[in-house]
Amino acid sequence: MFFASRGAKVVVNDLGGAVTGQGGSSKAADKVVDEIKAKGGVAVANYDSVEFGDKIIKTAMDNFGRVDILINNAGILRDISFQKMKQEDWDIILKVHLTGTYSCSRAAWNIMREQGYGRIINTASAAGLFGSFGQVNYSAAKLGIHGFTMALAKEGQKKNILVNTIAPLAASRMLETVMPPDVLANLKPSLVAPLVAYLSHDSCKENGSVFEIGGGYCTKLRWQRAEVIFIFMTGSFL
């Protein structure tokens, strides 16, 4: 809604399945498209899984002829302790989150290179930055996304393609399964949208960065090496 209200032409992608990844429906994407159109905006729906990023990007090219901004935000949950985790629980989380981010970015990459312009915003999570019990699969995928961001940012910069990561805490269908309504009421997605808009703007210089945001709080995170500690050892080793 935020981008459409400011004149952007939007492809709304949503498989419309359960938060655990099963099934599919056009209702979720159609609802957002209808809301955008009702307010005078321009939008089309796409219902493909993000593992088929080429189909999603083709929808944008067929309807609008270019891709300037890509927001990789698809997600599902398979929360379970590592002891009980099955291979499927691991595979599907990485397929949607990490491979999905790769697939959509890969499909848009050459288009952005030829344009000499692009902005990619990838969605990670505090679970990826700090770890979360029962989310080994999810945490691994989300931190992997930022590794992807940092590397891709270096490759895209010379073509004016900037790539950044956000780790948001905002109400969604997925978060509804793990947080009570009174907490979700304070985690409006509208509080995250301005940061995404900034990272998408042509004046933005951020590249390869990660921001934690939610509930009116926003901070830029960084990795920092500690002071070097030298350990001298004497004697022989057998």
Q: What is the 3-state secondary structure (H, E, C) of 174-213?
A: CHHHCCCHHHHCCCCHHHCHHHHHHHHCCCCCCCCCEEEE
Considering 102, 117, 138, 198, which one is annotated as catalytic?
A: 138
How far apart are alpha carbons 13 and 4 in whole angstroms?
Answer: 14
| ∠ Cα 47 49 53 (to 5°) | 100
- Strands, sheet with 217-221, edge to edge from the N-terminal-most edge strand: 69-72, 118-123, 161-168, 210-214, 217-221
**Catalytic residue flag (residue 198):** no
- Active site (catalytic) residues: 138
